Amino acid sequence: MDSVGAMTGRADLRLGITDVAPVVSCGSFSARAVVGEHVPITATIFREGHDAVAANVVWSAPGEDGDAGPLRRLEKYGEQPDRWLTTVVPDREGRWSFRIEAWSDPLATWRHAVEVKVEAGQGAEELANDLEEGARLLERVAAEAGDDWRGRVTAAAEALRDTSQELTVRIAPALAAGLQRYLYEHPVRELLTSSPRYEVWVDRREALFGSWYEFFPRSEGPVVGGIPTHGTFATAADRLPAVADMGFDIVYLPPIHPIGTVNRKGPNTAQFPGGNPHEIGPDDVGSPWAIGSAEGGHDAVHPQLGTMEDFEAFVERTRELGMEVALDFALQAAPDHPWVEAHPEWFTTKPDGTIAYAENPPKKYQDIYPVNFDNDPEGIYAECRRVIQVWIDAGVTIFRVDNPHTKPLNFWHWLIWDVKQSHPDVLFLAEAFTRPAMMHQLARLGFTQSYTYFTWRTERGEIEEYGRELATNSHYMRPNFFVNTPDILHESLQFGGPPMFKIRAVLASMLSPTWGVYSGFELFEHVAVKPGSEEYLDSEKYRLRPRDWAGAEASGRSLAPYLRRLNEIRRAHPALQQLRTLRFHQVDNPNLLCFTKTDPGSADAVLVVVNLSSHNTQIGTTALDLPTLGLDWHERFAVTDELTGARYDWGQFNYVELDPYREPAHVFGISFPRPVQFPPPVD
């Protein structure tokens, strides 16, 4: 028997414990949560026969074993008869852990047996053994009870043995609600079986919830005589109050390092994938992602932007306004980067002796050399860790990592967790528009957040499918929904008109706890460099692009007030600050999308209906799944439109009419009289 158990698995598993969650790759990586988040822990638990089973979770804080804490019992969950759930709330950052304990519950088995036998009309003689069994179980509880409860438990045991009383009188003390609650919290546990211990890494709140704003400091210089001048950290700081006023939390900066001069790209390079569009002049600023020149590399600041002290002042000003800086971390080099001369082995040398530049046919990036991690991994690892520390010391707490899918996975796993050891508050966003398997693996191994396919999900069916996928995997993959980027101008924005900008902003900000905007979105910038391209005309990647922010808002040509309102709504509703509870609901018009998010820690919920067509009014009727909101099918509830202030009385079926030129969406805030629990699992 023992040898068979050793060959086929654990022999000590008296009860079945399977499908434990949240678990990532069978426990190879940590699941994720943030401080204050309600984290659902679930498992399938079963045993042979018909005796009752129960379970609890042992939830351990960093550096603790958790066994000394109160008993955290799991409850039956969803439609599956053997699925169980409990919720834990971590209160600090770090590496938490948990394990499931399943056990036979003789008290519950006894209570059920007595209740059904009494209901069937059996008398005291037929229940004699049951009554004695109950008395013995209660004596076991009394032996461990405190002074406040020992007498009451003992009295209930004595009552079960009191043959002078009627049966109902004998069992009443043991079945009393108060005592049953005490027995629930202090059970008799038999056949105790434990699962393996699993880890949950807990980040600060900003790892899950935040609003990002990307802009190029170099475009924030004054325009003199109609000619833009190169911005500095000081002039860029003047833009920060407007960004804060729109409600953004994170200011994301593209690379701020010296830009290479060799093979520098000029304006509208995307029109000419094989080379530069014209002779590059001394005023062509080049791409910030072509990092490094004689003026320095990844650990230096572009001289035209200022000094390291100027950057630190910019970071401090950002903090004063209630925001923080995210800095681009792009592991590549311009041909004149100091690395190229000092460490040519860090790059790929072609048979003709030249160093290979980056290519994504038909595009050629002659101004960028990819790093080859195979030749000197130890040296490259050490240098990357040193560079990261330079910027952490300068006040950076978030890194947006460029193209991490083109670097080794084991490198990222090592770098991220090495940084976390000494700086657990540092976050990493993976900009990896690549195959799903790679995107998910980057998230599993340590990236805090992930870029997603949201930009290309525009139809209702594909939005719903993708939303369910992300919600299902939210225990390790946290999405960041950017509506646009410097090189992603989706055709929906090119041809959808101003209403589409509102539609995409509502979808991104309401569906995902974290979303992002690249500057110019609020000015409805929508012209591509050529038909079929997602590159902006006059792309800011290759030239200065000053904008008249104040003039646009004063004349009503700015979406800034709308973005401000969306971020206000997000901050006011805890339901929008998470992804796990996202649920989609039926609407009889495929151009209308309806979804809800609830907060398990409060009575807060948000219901959103969006017109996906930017050109036509859409009419439809919702069919809400009210039990996912904690309501019965017949109940009605009050809703307030957070965008317009309108109030409605809603139920399961509701008429909707949305004109995109007036308001393409309803964002309804709902407050229920009771907290909403985690809805059933996503299929």
Alpha carbons 557 and 550: distance in angstroms, whole number:
10
| 265 appears as a binding residue in the annotation | yes
Classify burial at 205, counting beta carbons within 10 Å of its beta carbon; exposed 0-12, middle 13-18, buried 19 or more. middle
| 350 appears as a binding residue in the annotation | no
pLDDT tens digits, residue range 246-271? 999 999 999 999 999 999 988 877 55
Give DSSP secondary structure letters for 502-569: HHHHHHHHHH-SEEEEETTGGGT---BSSTT--SBTT-TTTS-----HHHHHHTT---HHHHHHHHHH
Which amino acid is located at 76 in the chain?
K
Write down the residue that tokens 């002039």 correspond to.
235
Alpha carbons 403 and 337: distance in angstroms, whole number:
19
Classify burial at 427, counting beta carbons within 10 Å of its beta carbon; exposed 0-12, middle 13-18, buried 19 or more. buried
Write down the residue that tokens 């304990």 correspond to.
101
**Residue 355 confidence (pLDDT):** 96
For the beta carbon of residue 544, count every other beta carbon within 10 angstroms.
Answer: 21
What are the CA-CA distances from residue 368 to residues 95, 223, 361, 485 (Å)? 38, 30, 14, 20
Write down the residue that tokens 């003709």 correspond to.
352
**Residue 276 confidence (pLDDT):** 60
HSE at residue 579, side-chain half, CA atoms within 13 A, is: 31
Please indicate whether residue 328 is annotated as part of the active site: no
Alpha carbons 222 and 237: distance in angstroms, whole number:
13
| 365 appears as a binding residue in the annotation | no
Query: What's the DSSP call for residue 300?
Result: S
**Residue 3 confidence (pLDDT):** 46
Which stretches in the chain have pLDDT values below 70?
Answer: 1-12, 270-279, 674-683
The residue ranges of every structural domain in the chain are: 3-105+192-203, 107-186, 211-330+398-572, 580-671
**Residue 123 confidence (pLDDT):** 95
Active-site choice (101, 130, 220, 431) = 431
**SS3 assignment, position 291:** strand
Write down the residue that tokens 């629990």 correspond to.
677
Which amino acid is located at 673 in the chain?
P
Domains 3-105+192-203 and 580-671 share a fold: yes
pLDDT tens digits, residue range 140-152? 999 999 999 999 9
Q: Tokens representing 450?
A: 């992930």
The answer to whether 613 touches 591, Cβ cutoff 8 Å, is yes
Q: How far apart are the first and last CA of the chain?
A: 38
Alpha carbons 472 and 470: distance in angstroms, whole number:
5
CATH homologous superfamily of domain 211-330+398-572?
Glycosidases (3.20.20.80)
pTM: 0.93
Q: Is the dihedral of CA 330, 331, 335, 340 positive or negative?
A: positive
The top-level CATH class assigned to 580-671 is mainly beta
CATH topology of domain 107-186: Methane Monooxygenase Hydroxylase; Chain G, domain 1 (1.20.58)
Calculate the CA dihedral of residues 579, 514, 462, 490 and round it to 10 degrees: 180
Q: Residue 450: left (phi > 0), alpha (psi -120 to 50), or beta? A: beta
**Residue 280 confidence (pLDDT):** 74
**Residue 5 confidence (pLDDT):** 45
pLDDT tens digits, residue range 348-391? 999 999 999 998 888 788 999 999 999 999 999 999 999 999 99
Q: Tokens representing 121?
A: 């009309």
pLDDT tens digits, residue range 140-188? 999 999 999 999 999 999 999 999 999 999 999 999 999 999 999 999 9
Active-site choice (214, 328, 383, 402) = 402
Alpha carbons 537 and 527: distance in angstroms, whole number:
6
Alpha carbons 50 and 658: distance in angstroms, whole number:
54
Alpha carbons 578 and 589: distance in angstroms, whole number:
27
| 677 appears as a binding residue in the annotation | no
| 403 appears as a binding residue in the annotation | yes
**SS3 assignment, position 191:** strand
Sequence-ordered list of residues with C-beta below 8 angstroms from that of 335, at least 6 positions apart, any chain: 260, 262, 263, 355, 357, 367, 369
The answer to whether 531 touches 471, Cβ cutoff 8 Å, is no
Q: Which of 552, 456, 568 is nearest to 498 (CA)?
A: 552
Helix (H) and strand (E) counts for the chain? Answer: 18, 32
The answer to whether 653 touches 634, Cβ cutoff 8 Å, is no
| 407 appears as a binding residue in the annotation | no
**Residue 70 confidence (pLDDT):** 83
For the beta carbon of residue 358, count every other beta carbon within 10 angstroms.
Answer: 17
The top-level CATH class assigned to 3-105+192-203 is mainly beta
Alpha carbons 664 and 619: distance in angstroms, whole number:
11
Please indicate whether residue 538 is annotated as part of the active site: no
